Amino acid sequence: MPPSISVHSRTASGNTPPLRVITGPNTQLNWPASIAVESARGEIFVANDGGNSILVFRVTDQGNVAPTRVIKGPNTGISNPIGVSLDTLNNEVWVSNFGSHSVTVYPLAADGDTAPLRTIRAAPLGKKALGIGNPGGVAYDSKRKEILVPN
């Protein structure tokens, strides 16, 4: 199957077809690795590993639709993103970047070639980052106000 996002009922079981599928060239999906849903805004955020981007779709989207927003470009610092997490309290998007051994943070409404608000690395850019090896995801613990990054 080509890259896609399939939406299933919470109670789906067995050989049940999806309710909706987002797929096709207009989606720009290229090895989608992780998703996060922002229910209040009605948005799906996708860590698009092969496209070095974060794609944003509406939760009601289906078929060959273009994203409503795309965070991508040289100023973003996004490199093979494989994790995405939302901090709705602070209106931020957190991205773990396998390609640059980093975590980058953007405004929740970011679009285009947006520079990160912050970048977490364990070494200067261009040097090995021993503290953040190959991050596989990212999560925000709002109770403790901490970022969790698996290596």
Per residue in 87-102, pLDDT (tens digit) is: 999 999 999 998 888 8
Q: Is the pLDDT of residue 68 over 80?
A: yes
Q: Provide the strand spans (E) within 18-80.
A: 20-23, 32-38, 43-48, 53-58, 69-71
Give the CATH number, domain containing residue 74: 2.130.10.10
The model's pTM is 0.88
When divided into structural domains, the chain yields a total of 1
**CA atoms of 61 and 113, how far apart (whole Å):** 23
Q: What radius of gyration, in Å, describes the C-alpha atoms of the chain?
A: 15
**CA atoms of 55 and 103, how far apart (whole Å):** 17
Q: Which domain holds residue 25?
A: 4-148
Bridge partners (DSSP) of residue 139 are 148
